[in-house]
Amino acid sequence: MVKTAVKAAEEYEGQYEYATFELPNEELFLPGHGLCAGCTIGVIARHMLKVFGPDTVVVNATGCAEVSTVVYPRTNWAVPWIHVAFGNGGSVASGIEAAIKALKRRGVIDPSRKINVVVFAGDGGTADIGFQALSGMLERGHRVIYVMYDNEGYMNTGIQRSGTTPFGASATTSPAGKVVPGNTRHKKPMAAIAAAHGIPYVATANPAYVHDMVYKFKKAIEVDGPSFIHVLQSCTPGWRFEPKYAIRVLELATETGYWVNYEIENGEFRVTLPVPRRKHVKCFLQLQGRFRHLKPDEIEYIQKVIDRDVEEINRIMGREVIGPVDPSLPCLTERK
């Protein structure tokens, strides 16, 4: 089989080590955007560009990131940026990457210059309408970094469900009704799907853990071939939490095991943020209005699904990297 199967990284030594590198002071994602208060798209874009640097071309799929950052005649991007449509980030980037190759061969672009091509797209533009273009791009092996920011819904058009909306969430096209309690499907496992293409680098990330996230961006630009980074992104109007909880809710996603930060490097799987003791998933759910309607048995069902996923991850790792639920852990710890 040519495609790589996922297996635990052999050199894993229990504690993830972040390589130390300095982020430049220079801002390439400029202030003054129109994103909502508490939206973490800006956090992702800003750090992504700090790592990728000025020799980067950004392809933005239609969605919140695009409509909030490039309203003519203003822009928040200090790098070349293109938006073509909703479902074609992967193929537009394929064309750009191919053009860079051809133009280097013809001496139009300095062949020694390393130019990063990045797709920045939402969950809808990646997991649903843009799925085919993404898959084609990964399968053909273009050297493109695909960053999917996942706010778990079509937020730009007003909170409709997407293929990554979690079970039980209320969205406008999966509303919590008297008969159906919100979204009835589970999140599409995009990182695993990307990994199944046998590409060199896949990771999940969470902007609440910036070190982990930027390290993954760094790894992505260093591989020769496609890379895919699935980043969880909190959405104030969509998830319905107070803006001050934008990072807290993301921390809870990891602390509850709802979201596991890992990477798959050439088929080797490694959890990059071990969680020795987990919080109960209700800690993550109760902070958000989109789950408010859930009954205790539905919450317990979600907990069971997470337990099963955690078990599977521990099985792949060959040891317990995500610990059991510890009911004594408080949902929110006081912060100064």
Partner 1 sequence: MTAQALVPREKKIAQKRIALTGNHAVALAVKMCRPEVIAAYPITPQTPVVEKLAEYVNNGELDAEYIPVESEHSAMSASIGASAMGARTFTETSSQGLMHMYENLPIAVGLRLPIVMGVAARTISAPINVWGDYSDVMTMRELGWIIYIVQNAQEAFDTIIQAYRVAEDQRVHLPAVVAYDGFWTSHVLQPLDVPEDEEDVMRFAPITRSWVKLDVDNPLQLGAVGTPEWYWEVRWQAAEALRESLKVVEEVDREFGKWFGRSYGLFHTYRLEDAELAIVTYGSIYGLVKKVVDRLREEGVKAGALRLRVIRPWPGHQLRKALDRVDKVFVIDRAINHGGPLIGPMATEVAATLQRPVYNALATIGMRAIDSDMIYEAALKVAKGLWAPNQTYTIGLRGGYE
Could you say which residues in the range 297-336 bind ligand TPP, by CB under 6 A?
Answer: none
What character string, x for contact with ligand TPP (CB under 6 A) and - otherwise, covers 136-155?
---------------x-xxx
How far, in Å, CA of 182 to CA of 202, rounded? Answer: 30
Residue 1, exposed/middle/buried by CB under 10 A (0-12, 13-18, 19+)?
Answer: exposed
- Give the shortest CB-219-to-partner 1 separation in angstroms: 21
Classify the C-alpha dihedral 44-287-68-183 as positive or negative. Answer: positive
Q: Does 123 bind ligand TPP (CB under 6 A)?
A: yes
What character string, x for contact with ligand TPP (CB under 6 A) and - otherwise, covers 159-188?
---x--------------------------
Cβ–Cβ under 8 Å, residues 57 and 82: yes
Closest by CA to 329, choosing from 284, 299, 269, is 284
CB nearer to ligand TPP: pick between 86 and 201: 86
How far, in Å, CA of 210 to CA of 215, rounded? Answer: 8
Which of partner 1, ligand TPP, none binds 71 (CB below 5-8 Å, type-dependent)? Answer: partner 1
The stretch among 63-71, 74-82, 136-144, 177-185 that binds ligand TPP (CB under 6 A) is 63-71
CB nearer to ligand TPP: pick between 162 and 303: 162
- Give the shortest CB-199-to-partner 1 separation in angstroms: 15
Q: Does 131 bind ligand TPP (CB under 6 A)?
A: no
Cβ–Cβ under 8 Å, residues 284 and 253: yes
Residue 145, exposed/middle/buried by CB under 10 A (0-12, 13-18, 19+)?
Answer: buried
CB nearer to ligand TPP: pick between 28 and 65: 65
| Interacting residues toward partner 1 by CB under 8 A | 54-57, 59, 66-67, 70-73, 75, 77-85, 87-88, 90-96, 98-103, 105-106, 108, 113, 115, 132-133, 135-136, 139-140
- Give the shortest CB-159-to-ligand TPP separation in angstroms: 9
- Give the shortest CB-135-to-partner 1 separation in angstroms: 7
Which of ligand TPP, partner 1, none binds 336 (CB below 5-8 Å, type-dependent)? Answer: none
Position closest to ligand TPP via CB: 122
Which of partner 1, ligand TPP, none binds 103 (CB below 5-8 Å, type-dependent)? Answer: partner 1
Cβ–Cβ under 8 Å, residues 130 and 90: yes
CB nearer to ligand TPP: pick between 188 and 211: 188
DSSP 172-195: TTB-B-SSSBS--SPPP-HHHHHH
Strand 81-83, strand 56-60: pairing: parallel
Angle in degrees, CA 232, 281, 309, rounded to 5:
70
Residue 99, exposed/middle/buried by CB under 10 A (0-12, 13-18, 19+)?
Answer: middle
- Give the shortest CB-205-to-partner 1 separation in angstroms: 25
Cβ–Cβ under 8 Å, residues 119 and 65: no
How far, in Å, CA of 235 to CA of 120, rounded? Answer: 16
- Give the shortest CB-232-to-partner 1 separation in angstroms: 26
Point out which residues bind ligand TPP (CB under 6 A). 62-65, 86-87, 122-125, 151, 153-157, 162
